Amino acid sequence: MIKVLFLLIIVFLYCHSVNNIFKELKYILAISIFIFLQIILSLLNFYSNLEFIQLKMILTLLVPTLIIIFHFQHNKNSFIKISYKNLTLIHFVRIPIEFILYHNYKEKLIPKIMTFEGLNFDLFFALTTLLIYYLLNKNIIHKKILLAWNIFGLIFVLNIVIIAVLSTPTPIQKFGFNQPNLMIFNFPYILLPSFIVPIVIYSHIISILKIKHKI
C-alpha cells in the first residue's frame, strides 16, 4: 500500500512537471527514459548490491542534475509562463513523503534521524504549503513572503538530503550505523533522490529566480 502511494506520487509529479516545467519533447523523453531505467535497475537489485555504491549513487544523481542544468540554460526566459501556484503545488507531495519515510523507519530501512521524530523538519514546512497555496489562489501574498518561504523550503529539503547522504552505508557515513539508510536501494524508492528531490529543489530555484528577477 505504501509503495502504491509512492508510485502515485511519482505519476502526479511526472505529469505535473512535464506539463508545467519540462514541456519540450527532448526533456520529457530524457526524464521518461531515466525514470524507466531507474525502475528496471532497482527491480534487478542493481542498487541493493552495495559494491561501488558511491559511484552508482553519483551516476544516479548526475543525470537529473544535468537535465536540470541544460533545461535551465535554455529555458530561463520561459519561466515567466510558469505560475507560482503550479510551482507551489509540487510541494504538496512532501507531506505524504514524510509519512512514507516514517513507515520505512518502522520497517528499519532508514534511521530515526531521517524522520520528523529526528532531525527532518520538512513535514512542518510541507504543511505550510496549504496556507501558501490558499494565499496564492486569493492573490493576497506578498512576494517577499513567498521568497522567504521558498528559501526556507530549499534549506529544509537540503537538510534532509545531507542527513540522508550521511546515513547511507558509504565511507562518509556519519549517522544511522545501527539502522542505515537502505530505503533508496529498494524499488521504487530510488526515485526519491533521483526524481522527486531534484524536482522539488528545481521548483524552489525557479520560484526564487522569478521573484528576484520579477519575471
Q: Which residue is it, cell 502511494? A: 5
pLDDT for 213 equals 78
Name residue, grid cell 493576497.
140
Instruction: Give the pLDDT of the chain (215 residues) as one tens digit per residue.
Output: 899 999 999 999 999 999 999 989 999 999 999 999 999 999 998 888 877 777 888 888 889 999 999 998 888 777 888 899 999 999 999 999 999 999 999 999 999 999 999 999 999 999 999 999 999 999 999 999 999 999 999 999 999 999 999 999 988 889 989 999 999 988 999 999 999 999 999 999 999 999 987 65
Contact 137, 109 (CB under 8 A): no
Neighbours of 72 (CB within 10 A): 14
Q: Which three cell numbers stand for residue 207?
A: 520560484
DSSP class of residue 150?
H
Q: Give the integer Cα–Cα distance in Å for 44 and 27.
A: 26
Asked if 97 contacts 207 with a C-beta cutoff of 8 angstroms, the reply is: no
Amino acid at 214: K
CA pair distance 201, 153, nearest whole angstrom: 9
Dihedral (Cα; 145, 120, 105, 36), 10-degree rounding: 60
**pLDDT in the model for residue 172:** 87
Question: Are the C-beta atoms of 57 and 41 separated by less than 8 Å?
Answer: no
